[in-house]
Structure 1
């Protein structure tokens, strides 16, 4: 599983970079405050992926469950940045009335963003539960090299 660890580290840096780039254009979004949130989501979720990549080999799950956790965490982290960026572009307010500051968007855009946040929330919660489960007991000792 060394390959998945390295992939998580790569995705962590990629998402961190996307967060930085989002920060450079946040003033261009319809909802500037949500643009700042999108910038922070990219940076924080990228950092989370880097941390998870660092401990990935300690997560003890069946191969199928570990693959589910891997894909759920990628969907949740990238999705969080993407949906928050979409909310900043559209100026939606249903799930973020404080950062929207009186803005709003057509109902279909509000529904799209709400559905996105529900889906990514489910993905990241699922991934977190699986990773916690995989860290519940010490990993099996690795054999000594000969």
Structure 2
């Protein structure tokens, strides 16, 4: 089961990486190309992060329930980071991204959607990393396979 999850994380990471590369082709068609570039970079970096997580998955000392939680928030955080950053580029929002969004303003609904989305990403990615760091404690040979 853990080998399947490891492989799935690697596959999802490569899919997100590919989406990031494809995102790069449409930068100038977005309302805010600078945020489009940020979305491109988020997808490439988070795709790489998911691949790395796939490689370390079997090294983690975690209960099954904590592994399930980690898997869900990892996938949500990585893909949502790209999606909400891309939405910011499409809508031209700037409330939570004042530097990249300078000179742009979305509607109240658009701004609130992107703000809530990016806040949820920050929380899930923070917890993901804390769980991963916790799971990497102990000796390597004790890891669950």
TM-score (norm 1): 0.94
Structure 1 equivalent of residue 72 of structure 2 = 71
Give the secondary structure class of the aligned counterpart of 1:105.
coil
Q: Which range moves more in the overlay, 80-89 or 117-126?
A: 117-126
Cα distance between partner residues in 2 of 1:33 and 1:141? 46
Relative to structure 1, the CA distance from residue 141 to residue 129 in structure 2 (aligned partners, 3 Å threshold; closer, same or farther) is closer
Give the secondary structure class of the aligned counterpart of 1:100.
coil
Larger radius of gyration: 1
Structure 1 equivalent of residue 91 of structure 2 = 90
> For each residue in 1:43-92, what CA deviation from the matched residue of structure 2 results, as whole angstroms up to 9, or x when unmatched?
00001111111111001100010110111010000000000000000000
> Which consecutive residues of structure 2, in runs of 5 or more, have no partner in the other structure?
none
Structure 2 equivalent of residue 112 of structure 1 = 113
Shift of 1:139: 3.9
Structure 2 equivalent of residue 29 of structure 1 = 30
> Which consecutive residues of structure 1, in runs of 5 or more, have no partner in the other structure?
none
CA RMSD in angstroms comes to 1.1
TM-score (norm 2): 0.94
Runs of 4+ in 1 over 6 A off after TM superposition: none
Cα distance between partner residues in 2 of 1:91 and 1:141? 49
